[in-house]
Amino acid sequence: MPGALEGLKVVDLSRVLGGPYCAQMLADHGADVIKIEPPQGDETRLWGPPFDQDGISAYYAGINRNKRTVALDLAKPDGRTVLLKLLEGADVLIENFKTGTMEKWGLGYDTLAQRYPTLVHARVSGFGADGPLGGYPGYDAMVQASAGLVSVNGAPEAGPVRIGVPVVDLSTGMNACIGILMALFERSKSGKGQFVDATLYDSAIALHQPHAPNYFMAGLKPKLYGNSHGNLAPYANFPTKGRNIVIGAGNDGQFRKLCAMLGKPEMADDPRFKTNKDRLANKAAMEEQLAALTKDRDGEAFANELMMNGVPSGAVQEVPDVMEHPHTKHRNMVWEKDGYRNVGNPVKLSRTPPRVRSKPRKYGIDTRAVLAEHGFSDNEIDKLIASGVALTEIRKA
């Protein structure tokens, strides 16, 4: 079954996480993604261990499947000439070079738009090209800090902490992907490409739900709530005799049902706990009573029982448990091919589902084939490789 994006040609110049994740989202749905790496390779190739039998790091493998890999030295004029040839017929260009680099090379959006008017040019950057922070480099943890996400994550006794997954990089990659698809849809009407500007800073700020609305409406500065919530109670992590469980009663009916299932229905009629506003005002006392009622329960079984009865809950699972969980497999969220095993694509389409077509590939393995496909003769390819413009092996520092 062909993917939804079959026939879409994407040239991916990006490295590390946000850009490659965006390109992988497109590739999983059938786009022909040509990943172009610099002479030293995408740095995540070295972010290990672990490494597989081909020497590919797990970090790199997680965000670079379904792509063909080519290596070019774009610092050389001949490398840029090759890139321009590869861009012929391309629908999308993704890059995350330091702001100004593409312009310095004569490959900025304004220049490329003249030559390829239908091209959608997507740039992933830390802070954008201008403004007080424009042009600064951006890495996930640093932007989590500067955009306020670290300040709202953690417990009062421990202080602010970084969110444990690179949520800013990943959300920026998703936003870039959404922007590309929007631009392609608009192109179907106008016939013109456009520039997609996705920054880590913007993406991080957009994640401030409900903290930004709370601030804008009431001037509230977020506090650290640990495993509980500033707008909803109960919404917290509770002890059991096994795994802890997270329980979130989003309305008064769910709270009443929770109390009944814990064997203390009268708790729902306590004036301190009757409404969400009451429960927030008396959260410490309420959580203490609930913890006393959950501590002797079997965590996973009770979480499932609550869910079956309409009370949102979940046992605190660890990564190995999740990856081997029957529902993870049922949702096709673990993909396997030729020894490769990783998380699947979360965007499911009924007629054209995403799939793994090729596992992450060795550095430069497709350089010769892709250049030949774009009109370069064997002799020309040999010369490009001999001169270091095109590569099939990582250039040692």
pLDDT digits (tens, 9 = 90+) for 77-100: 999 999 999 999 999 999 999 989
pLDDT at 2: 86
pLDDT at 337: 94
The Cα–Cα gap between 311 and 296 comes to 19
155 Cβ contact partners less than 8 Å away, ≥ 6 residues apart: 224, 225, 226, 227
Reported as a single tens digit per residue, the pLDDT across 204-230 is 999 999 999 999 999 999 999 888 898
Class of residue 119 by CB neighbours under 10 A (exposed 0-12, middle 13-18, buried 19+):
buried
Q: Is the pLDDT of residue 308 over 90?
A: yes
Token pair listed for 221: 């500065």
Contact (CB, 8 A) for 124 and 176: yes
pLDDT at 57: 97
pLDDT at 226: 86
Task: For residue 63, report the phi and psi dihedrals to the nearest 5 degrees.
Answer: -135, 20
- Give me the mean pLDDT over the 312-329 stretch: 95
CB atoms within 10 A of CB 308: 9
- The mean of the pLDDT values for the chain is 96
- Give me the mean pLDDT over the 31-52 stretch: 96
Reported as a single tens digit per residue, the pLDDT across 124-152 is 999 999 999 999 989 999 999 999 999 99
Residue type, 8: L
Token pair listed for 212: 């930004």
Run of H or E residues at 248: strand 245-248
Q: How confident is the model at residue 74 (pLDDT cuts 50, 70, 90)?
A: very high
320 Cβ contact partners less than 8 Å away, ≥ 6 residues apart: none
Report, as residue numbers or ranges, the catalytic residues.
Answer: 169
